[in-house]
């Protein structure tokens, strides 16, 4: 993970031994439980997909799940853009004042 990835500071797994997320095979399905309540799951998954990270659990997905997703969507050039747009659309349709929009408003307010 790059130092300028500020989302990582809000990662639920910060308190978890990294070795727990970099297990092999079926153990990854147990390991990804830590991601279920993570506030930066979208950012984490987008980072792993955009950087083609092959190992470990990222964004609540195992290595195998991410490989399958990349195979299904070979033309995606920015997973970050795709996932953030999907989240924004979901929040807009549901009328929920999502975290993303709240952060945008805070940034606009200065
Ligand atoms: S989604 Fe999972 S691996 Fe990614 S930052 Fe959150 S807890 Fe860590």
User: Is position 1 within any domain?
Assistant: no
Q: Is 38 annotated as a binding residue?
A: yes
Annotated binding-site residue? 13: yes
> In this predicted structure, what is the pLDDT of residue 73?
97
**Any ligand 1 atom below 6 A from CB of 47:** no
Res 25 pLDDT > 80: yes
Least trusted range by pLDDT, from 36-40, 52-56, 85-89, 93-97: 93-97
Residue 14 annotated as binding site:
no
Q: How far apart are alpha carbons 80 and 5 in whole angstroms? A: 12
Q: Considering the domain boundaries, does residue 70 fall inside one? A: yes
Whether 55 is covered by a domain: the verdict is yes
Find how far residue 85's CA is from the centre of its chain: 13
Dist CA 20 CA 51 (whole Å): 21
Q: Exposure string (b/e) for 19-46, b if CB count within 10 Å is 16 or more?
A: eebebeeeebeebbebbeebebbbbbbb
Whether 102 maps to a domain, the answer reads yes
Ligand 1 pocket check for 44: Cβ under 6 Å: yes
| Closest by CA position to 99, among listed 35, 12, 58, 40 | 40
Q: What is the per-residue pLDDT for 19?
A: 87
Q: How many structural domains is the chain composed of? A: 1
Q: What is the largest CA-CA distance in the chain?
A: 46
Pocket lining: 53 vs ligand 1, CB cutoff 6 Å: no
Mutate which of 5, 8, 9, 12 for ligand 1 pocket (most atoms within 8 A of beta carbon): 12
pLDDT at 2: 52
Confidence at 5, pLDDT banded by 50, 70, 90: confident
pLDDT for residue 53 is more than 80 = yes
User: pTM of the entire structure?
Assistant: 0.81
**Does 75 reside within a domain?**
yes
- Residue with the bigger pLDDT between 56 and 107: it is 56
Whether residue 6 has pLDDT greater than 60: yes
Residue 95 covered by a domain: yes
Per-residue pLDDT at 108 exceeds 50:
no
- Its domain, for residue 97, covers 6-109
Phi, psi of 7 (to 5 degrees): -60, -30
């Amino acid at each position: 993970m790059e130092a300028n990835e500020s989302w990582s500071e809000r990662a639920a797994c910060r308190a978890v031994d990294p070795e727990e997320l970099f297990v092999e095979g079926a153990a990854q399905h147990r390991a990804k439980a830590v991601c279920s309540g993570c506030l930066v799951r979208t950012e984490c998954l987008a980072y792993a997909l955009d950087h083609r990270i092959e190992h470990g659990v990222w964004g609540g997905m195992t290595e195998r799940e991410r490989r399958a997703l990349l195979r299904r969507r070979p033309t995606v050039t920015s997973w970050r853009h795709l996932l953030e747009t999907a989240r924004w659309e979901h929040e807009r349709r549901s009328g929920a004042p999502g975290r993303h929009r709240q952060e945008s408003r805070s940034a606009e307010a200065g």
